[in-house]
Structure 1
């Protein structure tokens, strides 16, 4: 009986705290679908957005944001693989990582200067 009660309590806790993330999909053309993901606790704030190709693979530019709407990263995919320059924004610096077919080619760190 104690085991059943523990399982019921556990299931209640999992379902009570689980929040579904809102996602919008918009077909751009026959080859691309734009996906917009919103923060689970704030359905108006965009968490990340980008594109899927006709095969359902990540493709093109993907942008991630913090809850305030500031960019945290800009990523690029080519047919589901990391490709090109990825930019990560930090408070006082920007990290640049260059990929080619999922392999890291170069990593740079630049100081962020605000006038």
Structure 2
């Protein structure tokens, strides 16, 4: 059990991204992460990692580029990345919130 106020902040807070661990710990074969993408934030370099990841957009809008194709996500949309190059951007005026499931854990 992880209460809302007890989530552990993970990652580096880079580029306007705030990540909190929803999983109780990192001992499972996957991790669940609550990600908040601040307005006008982005990563410029693509990320490639040996994982399978599924993201679900809870609120806001988010651009996700996978293997050179950019997708505009709106609330309720989801996507999957399986070791492909990806990056994200929130060029909008409001935060975007997503839930990610990542296997194996990267943090």
Which has a greater percent of strand? 1
Which has a greater percent of helix? 1
| TM-score (norm: length of structure 2) | 0.30
- Indicate the structure (1 or 2) with the bigger Cα radius of gyration: 1
| TM-score (norm: length of structure 1) | 0.28
Structure number with higher relative contact order (C-alpha < 8 Å, ≥ 6 residues apart): 2
